Structure 1
Amino acid sequence: MQVIKFENVIKSYQFGENELVVLHGISVSIEKGEFVCIMGPSGSGKSTFMNIVGCLDTPTSGKYYLEGIDVSTMDVNQLAEIRNKKIGFVFQQFNLLPRATALENVELPLIYAGVPSKERKQRALHMLEAVGLKERAHHYPRQLSGGQQQRVAIARALVNNPSIIFADEPTGNLDSKSSIEIMEIFKNLNEIQGLTTIIVTHEPDIAAFGKRQIRFLDGRIISDTKS
């Protein structure tokens, strides 16, 4: 089953009379349960590609299907609903609320989804346990290491049972030991739970965790290989 399908997707931006084309007719698909790493230098188009994949942006032309649904023409509210239900996001900067505990940070997507308080806490605790941080549930981000903060961010991304987990440079702020630990979590999520996993990275040793590597350059896919 195709989770993601791009059909001749073009993304351009207008600056006065000048047009900047960032994606040049991208056609690619990702199957359910794949572990894909997106690579490419700054300005290659990979971030724009991932913003469209993550329903944070829409194509200028072409089609984007997410689990068979054409999301390329959805409005802001429809895209927000898709993001909350189907996609879990993990970022380089962790993006945790500093005055909220680990548990409260993980609960956030469930609050937006209208899940009752008791169920929220149970699900959030379960996810913290899954990433090995149940005993740190009531610690604040400042009391956690970088690797632990990223584990909280992963738990938050998973708490709504998304179809896809999308991570943008998830090891960018971590030392090599913590980076490997975080990538092992993604690997297990993919292999044991079958979660479709898409990671943006510029580091070859991180990309090696993926089973497929897609490389961008100048707004085009220049290679797509499976390992």
Structure 2
Amino acid sequence: MIRINELWKIYDTGKIKVPALRGIDLTIEKGDFIAIIGASGSGKSTLMNILGCLDRPTKGKYVLDDVQTETLKDEEFAQIRNKKIGFVFQSFNLISRTSALKNVELPLIYGKVDSKKRHELSKKALERVGLLDRIDHKPNELSGGQKQRVAIARALVSNPSIILADEPTGNLDSKSTEEIIRIFKDLNNEGATIIIVTHEHEIADQAKRIVTFRDGNIISDERKIDILEKI
């Protein structure tokens, strides 16, 4: 599903060039559940932005579903992002003045899906995360865990190839964190490819595969079965 080869991202400040990613290689299969972990400044968020087609690499290859993304024009780049990737952010990124249902409908509005189908698909997505009884509630009427569940419903409503989550439990208490991780596990068991970017080892341990970053390099890439065999 994803193939990255010799990927570099270098930020040019004008005076100095700062490499955030240093020629990394990474392959992600359909149905993977991966945690990308590392300290601040390790390169994991830069990689997330590139995986999510929010940014482009300085050099190297990023192939998503057999599409070589670095050759795409801006409009094509946006289209692949909207169709193939669902995003979940630490800060939820919900529109405060509108309902949970309307928030979930947003990707479908951008995709020009008609209103009746948008409504049906959004209700189904909210039902999948256990919030069918909260469809008319605005974000300020929801708990932190419920807000994140709305964000997950929005991420999966257009049936993307990948759900990409950036510190999705960073603003949540332990109970809400458990609920969110359970939802990700259920979605993965149903066939979704999940990539979580985190600095928390407790969250990374819930994934099937852990990729660790340091100073723009991948220093380890282990599946859970390999980790367990070392214990």
By how many angstroms is 1:128 displaced?
A: 0.6
Correspondences of 1:29-178 after superposition (within 5 Å): 29-178=27-176
Q: Percent identity over the alignment?
A: 58
By how many angstroms is 1:92 displaced?
A: 0.2
Q: Letter of the aligned partner of 2:188 in structure 1?
A: N
Q: Deviations over 1:84-119 (max 9, x none)?
A: 100000000000000110000000110000000111
C-alpha distance in 1 between matches for 2:89 and 2:73: 24
The equivalent residue for 1:208 is 205
C-alpha distance in 1 between matches for 2:71 and 2:15: 25
CA contact (8 A) 1:90 1:153 kept: yes
By how many angstroms is 1:129 displaced?
A: 0.7
By how many angstroms is 1:216 displaced?
A: 0.3
C-alpha distance in 1 between matches for 2:93 and 2:14: 34
Q: Deviations over 1:47-102 (max 9, x none)?
A: 11111110011111110000111002323222211111000000000000001100
C-alpha distance in 2 between matches for 1:204 and 1:60: 30
By how many angstroms is 1:17 displaced?
A: 4.0
The equivalent residue for 1:198 is 195
- Normalising to structure 1: TM-score of the pair? 0.97
C-alpha distance in 2 between matches for 1:108 and 1:171: 22
CA contact (8 A) 1:36 1:199 kept: yes
Please give the secondary structure, in 1, of the residue aligned with 2:121.
helix
Q: Letter of the aligned partner of 1:68 in structure 2?
A: D
By how many angstroms is 1:204 displaced?
A: 1.1
Aligned residues: 224
CA contact (8 A) 1:58 1:73 kept: no
C-alpha distance in 1 between matches for 2:144 and 2:8: 37
Answer with 107-116 or 74-83: which moved more. Answer: 74-83
CA contact (8 A) 1:150 1:170 kept: yes
C-alpha distance in 1 between matches for 2:109 and 2:86: 15
Please give the secondary structure, in 1, of the residue aligned with 2:117.
helix
What runs of 5+ residues in structure 2 fail to find an aligned partner?
225-231
Q: How big is the alpha-carbon RMSD for the aligned residues of Structure 1 and Structure 2?
A: 0.8
Q: Deviations over 1:115-170 (max 9, x none)?
A: 00111101101111111000100000000000000000000000000000000000
Please give the secondary structure, in 2, of the residue aligned with 1:72.
helix
C-alpha distance in 1 between matches for 2:91 and 2:16: 33
Misfit runs of 4+, over 4 Å: none
C-alpha distance in 1 between matches for 2:71 and 2:174: 41
- Normalising to structure 2: TM-score of the pair? 0.95
